[in-house]
Amino acid sequence: MRRSSAASKKKSDSITSSTTDLFRSGPSKATSKEMDRIDHLFNQYANTSSNLIDPEGIEELCSNLEVPHTDIRILMLAWKMKAEKQGYFTQEEWRRGLKALRADTLSKLKKALPELEKEVRRQSNFADFYAYAFRYCLTEEKQKSIDIETICQLLDIVMGSTFRAQVDYFVEYLKIQNDYKVINMDQWMGFDRFCNEISFPEMTEYNPELAWPLVLDSFVEWISEKQA
């Protein structure tokens, strides 16, 4: 009986040990397979000579996702990847973004886009995304500002659906004024603050003494004259 008991204990220990090994190897094997699929997807769009997804690859990706390449969700995807260079995704950026989205296939990535948009539009994330959108458009080394035409397009994509009236007025103002040829980060972030803090079109809370960028002081004056 004792021998049988000892054998039974040994068998039990063996089962416990193999189960533990299974649990230990399970997640890492799953993670490894997930990363293989993410890499496989990357290779479908990457330029083999540069090992980057370039503008052509992004256009093909957008076509397969059935979204225009100017769709804000593609910019949101770049934000999720923390992509540094406009129009290019490195393999590391791709892995970072798709792993965070738990999207290791094209269909999963397609399904993840509406959830990504909800995540970005949460107030806790939007200011970071809004600042990222500006930095993403700085395509030259040491560039600190963006031309008015590009800013107008960017405002429409990033803010248009949330603050339509403010964006339309600001874009109209930027296109007719002659004082500013470019917009810097401080002015860009000032407009986000303006949209969130100032009721529109009344603007009764706007106080030019409160360190607003000068371009916004001029913008408010212009609207006030327009309304008078």
State the Cα–Cα distance between residues 126 and 118, nearest whole angstrom. 10
**DSSP secondary structure letters along 69-101:** TT-HHHHHHHHHHT--STT-B-HHHHHHHHHHH
- Please provide residue 53's backbone torsions phi and psi, each rounded to the nearest 5 degrees: -85, 115
Total residue length of the chain: 228
Residues 134-180 pLDDT 10s: 999 999 989 999 999 999 999 999 999 999 999 999 999 999 999 99
Residues 12-68 pLDDT 10s: 555 555 555 545 545 577 678 999 999 999 999 999 999 999 999 999 999 999 999
**DSSP secondary structure letters along 106-142:** HHHHHHHHHHHHHHHHSHHHHHHHHHHHHHHT--STT
Domains assigned to the chain:
30-121 (1.10.238.10), 125-227 (1.10.238.200)
pTM: 0.84
